[in-house]
A = this chain, B = another copy of it.
Amino acid sequence: MRARVFVTLKPSVFDPQGRTIVEALHSLGHTEVGDVRQGKYFELDLNVESAAAAEALATEVSQQVLANPVIESFRLEVDSESKAGRS
């Protein structure tokens, strides 16, 4: 099973990387870009049988390790194919 985890800074937390990117984009003339927030994206390959088990494991791993609850929140998607996304 494959889980995808998205970790983002909470809205109240200032995102220095996002701000730097916005500034770079504005200086390149992309003034239509209003805001950018940068987060992290994880693809997990999980050796479990069911989508429910995958969801439970991914949630645990995200809470415990992948996200820091002081500044970040996460959401996840479970997907039973073994390959997610195209490249």
CB-based contact A64/B28 at 8 Å? yes
Give the number of copies in the complex: 2
Q: Is A19 an interface residue (CB 8 A)?
A: no
| Other-chain contact of A87, B35, B46, B64, B75 (Cβ < 8 Å) | B75
- Report B-chain residues with C-beta under 8 Å of the C-beta of A48: 32
Residue positions of A touching B, CB distance < 8 A: 6-8, 10-11, 18, 21, 24-25, 28, 30, 32-48, 57, 60-61, 64-66, 73-75, 85-87
24 contacts between A and B (CB under 8 A): A6-B41, A7-B41, A8-B41, A8-B85, A11-B87, A18-B42, A24-B65, A25-B61, A30-B57, A32-B46, A32-B47, A34-B47, A36-B44, A36-B45, A37-B42, A37-B43, A39-B40, A39-B41, A39-B42, A40-B40, A41-B41, A73-B87, A74-B87, A75-B86
